[in-house]
Amino acid sequence: LLSVAGVEADYSALDEQARVALLRRELASDRPLGSRFSDYSEETAKELAIVEAAAEAHRRYGPACITHYLISKAESVSDMLEVNILLKEAGLWRAAKGDEPPHAPIMSIPLFETIGDLRNGPAIMQRLFALPAYRALVASRDDEQEVMLGYSDSNKDGGFLTSGWELYKAEVDLARVFENAGVRLRLFHGRGGSV
């Protein structure tokens, strides 16, 4: 999307700080990146079709029909913001206007599932809450954010004991980050089939 729109030729080559800065700029505007007259890769077209289907479901059945977008293997703040870029393309993200916070009827939920993800998850959430627009979005949702912790992949990644310990530490550290940010934490425990 960024490349075809002429915004950034090689997004994947950017470091995390540059990615976050670029995504924040894009999310501050309601201008879509996509065009029905442009050609996209099969993967991009499939991802856009998912958010378009969600937008159509919202139009037909109301916003309560789809309220969450789970981000598997969330490893960075940019992973969280990228989802909102996709939602914006389908009209499911509105930029902040004056005193009004940004609006997104679908909550982005990180899934921290590997040992590394569990260790980095609290810092990712802390950096995310430090972004004024994202924090305002969370405030508009009654100051609540959901996080999913993956038991199956962390178990495969580190073994049963390491997984259990890292899951416990992640929960404690996430609770501390959320408390400091004034956000209620809702944990979703993804047990999977191998635990």
Per-residue pLDDT of the chain (195 residues; tens, 9 = 90+): 999 999 999 999 999 999 999 999 999 999 999 988 899 999 999 999 999 999 999 999 999 999 999 999 899 999 999 999 999 999 999 999 988 999 999 999 999 988 999 999 999 999 999 999 999 999 999 999 999 998 776 667 777 777 788 889 999 999 999 999 999 999 988 766 544
One-letter amino acid for residue 163 of the chain: S
Tokens of 48: 């856009």
Buried b (16+ CB within 10 A) or exposed e, 114-149: bbebbebbbebbbbbbebebbbebbeebeeebbbbb
SS3 33: coil
Contact in structure between 109 and 147 (CB atoms under 8 Å): yes
Residues 6+ apart with CB under 8 A from 35: 4, 5
Neighbours of 167 (CB within 10 A): 20
